[in-house]
Amino acid sequence: MKFNIYNSENSKNAFTGKSMIRISRKAGLFTFSKTAGERIGLKEGDRVIIVQDADSPDNFYVHKTANPSGFSLRFKTANYGASFNCAKLAAVILDSTPYKSVSYILGNAQDIDGMAYHLIQTSKPLAEML
């Protein structure tokens, strides 16, 4: 008999350490990886907004905001990233895909009108669940 051995050394998530955002359609859960949170500078009490480029509707951006109407972030522990829920927004982003849940790379900050916006690279899903 020949065994395939799976353990903590060879079964780690291939995307560990990547700046990612995961979007789940069912609960409308948006989760930022720890690396993404560090890139954006997210901390307890922060808020974010997601913006869509009207000229390129497939382009969505994350922006950290002080505006009280932004999505309030939750943090489990210092070892995990931030999250928020919005089923309507998840549907807007995922409606053109067959995915129930998908991860995207979060791009470097782009300066738009003096503010930092991070592109959600929707053209390149990393991990999907149909």
Short-list 103, 89, 18, 99, CA closest to 48: 89
pLDDT at 95: 87
What whole-number distance in Å separates Cα of residue 23 and Cα of residue 86? 10
Distance CA 99, CA 24 (A): 8
Digit-by-digit pLDDT tens for the chain (130 residues) are: 787 777 666 555 555 568 999 999 989 999 999 999 999 999 988 999 999 999 998 899 999 999 999 999 998 766 678 999 999 999 999 988 888 899 999 988 899 899 999 999 988 888 665 4
Q: Which two tokens stand for residue 63?
A: 């922006």
For the whole prediction, is pTM greater than 0.85? no
Q: What is the pLDDT of residue 119?
A: 95
Contacts of 36 (CB under 8 A, 6+ apart): 19, 20, 21, 42, 81, 106, 118
* pLDDT given for residue 128 in this prediction: 63
Helix (H, G, I), strand (E, B) or coil at 1: coil
pLDDT of 62: 96
